[in-house]
């Protein structure tokens, strides 16, 4: 299934039905009086979060959603039938934006959440509604209210606790594959990861969700490479895991490139806690490892962990460091049926 995280949708609520002008006409009833019914209410357009969806691919093949109009009123005091509502079923983490792609209409983060996007028009009053003691034969009725037509954008931001950052081939997908049941594509060329991946990892009896996004390069905020569109998927994360390739000859520049792109993206992303890790240390000699670690510590200005996703070296320590940055209420306890034990690589 193709991953789709941005969709443009055209919606329109139903118009209300017109009121009816009618008079009771029966044998032996000389003054039947007005009996025109009201028009039905037009259908509304809703967005609802449902379980089991993780992409907006359904909106690639259908972009227009028009609710039914209300039926007009009828004689014998009959009200027109209301129009059926339209429900847009979206995955958890969907953000609904106005046509300018900046104004946030709703941010849906829990299953079952619903939001009204376009309210259906009210039905018009029939002439029965206008009957008074001084006007017992009104010949007027209201038209139905017009529906609302608008264009919206749906943007999916994955719900994850940890977001992976790094240049292409920094080892993000290898880390995800080594710590979870996710099986992202892994190869020795840049931009192997083209779409975000989610994996559930466990350590010390608890589980949390890790999001792997395509790698960033210098100038991603200006549209180079795959751009920074996928950074939105780590906006909701509690902590960022910044992986730096230990075999690179430009470790300091690699670290600074990611930091610059995150700051250029803006928002709260640059202020989130980060765990910096020197990756692929199994491919380094002891002296080269110490030199690379010192370089990264100097440029980051903080502690740096060492890890190898392939050799499973230091993975548990990194997972524990990530867990410490996640709120307890967001952690899920693994149901193993046995006493909790530390995760073993």
| Burial classification of residue 194, based on how many CB atoms lie within 10 Å of its CB (0-12 exposed, 13-18 middle, 19 or more buried) | exposed
Percent helix, strand, coil in the chain, to 5, is 20, 25, 55
| CA distances for 317 relative to 212, 251, 344, angstroms | 19, 22, 11
* Nearest partner of 172 among 74, 307, 23, judged by Cα: 307
Kindly report the backbone phi and psi dihedral angles of residue 37, in degrees, each rounded to the nearest multiple of 5, phi listed first.
Answer: -85, 165
Q: Which residues are annotated as a binding site for GTP?
A: 166-173, 191-195, 212-215, 279-282, 308-310
Q: Which residues are annotated as a binding site?
A: 166-173, 191-195, 212-215, 279-282, 308-310
Q: Which two tokens stand for residue 32?
A: 């039947």
CA separation for the pair 316, 331 (Å, rounded): 17
* DSSP states along 133-193: SS-SS----PPPPPPPEEEEEEEE----SEEEE-STTSSHHHHHHHHSS------SSTT--
Give Cβ neighbours of residue 132 (< 8 Å, ≥ 6 apart): 138
Cross-strand bridge partners of residue 156: 94
Q: Which residues are annotated as a binding site for Mg(2+)?
A: 173, 193
* Nearest partner of 53 among 86, 89, 106, judged by Cα: 89
Alpha carbon dihedral 17, 23, 24, 29, in 10-degree steps, equals: 170
CA separation for the pair 105, 153 (Å, rounded): 10
């Amino acid at each position: 299934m193709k991953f789709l995280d941005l969709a443009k949708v055209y919606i329109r609520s139903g118009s209300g039905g017109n009121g009816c002008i009618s008079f009771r006409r029966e044998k032996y009833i000389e003054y039947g009086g007005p009996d025109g019914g009201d028009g039905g209410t037009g259908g509304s357009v809703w967005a609802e979060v449902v379980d089991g969806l993780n992409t907006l691919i359904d909106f690639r093949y259908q972009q227009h959603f028009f609710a039914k109009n209300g039926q007009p009123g009828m004689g014998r005091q009959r009200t027109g039938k209301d129009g059926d509502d339209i429900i847009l079923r979206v995955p958890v983490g969907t953000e609904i934006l106005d046509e300018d792609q900046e104004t946030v209409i709703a941010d849906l983060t829990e299953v079952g959440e619903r939001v009204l996007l376009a309210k259906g028009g009210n039905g018009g009053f029939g002439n029965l509604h206008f009957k008074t003691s001084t006007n017992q034969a009104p010949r007027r009725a209201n038209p139905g209210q017009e529906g609302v037509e608008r264009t919206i954008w749906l943007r999916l931001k994955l719900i994850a606790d940890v977001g992976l950052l790094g240049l292409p081939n920094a080892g993000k997908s290898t880390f995800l594959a080594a710590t979870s049941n996710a099986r992202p594509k892994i190869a020795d060329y840049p931009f192997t990861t083209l779409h975000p991946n989610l994996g559930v990892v466990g350590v010390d009896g608890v589980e949390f969700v890790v999001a792997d996004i395509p790698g960033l390069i210098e100038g991603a905020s200006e549209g180079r490479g795959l751009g920074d569109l996928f950074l939105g998927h780590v906006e909701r994360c509690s902590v960022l895991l910044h992986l730096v390739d230990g075999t690179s000859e430009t470790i300091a520049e690699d670290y600074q490139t990611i930091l610059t792109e995150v700051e250029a993206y803006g928002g709260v992303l640059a202020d989130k806690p980060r765990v910096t890790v020197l990756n692929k240390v199994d491919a380094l000699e002891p002296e080269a490892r110490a030199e690379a670690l010192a370089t990264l510590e100097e440029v980051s200005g903080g502690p740096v962990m060492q890890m190898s996703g392939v050799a499973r070296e230091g993975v548990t320590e990194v997972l524990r460091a990530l867990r410490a940055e996640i709120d307890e209420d967001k952690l899920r306890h693994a149901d193993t049926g046995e006493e909790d034990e530390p995760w073993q690589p």
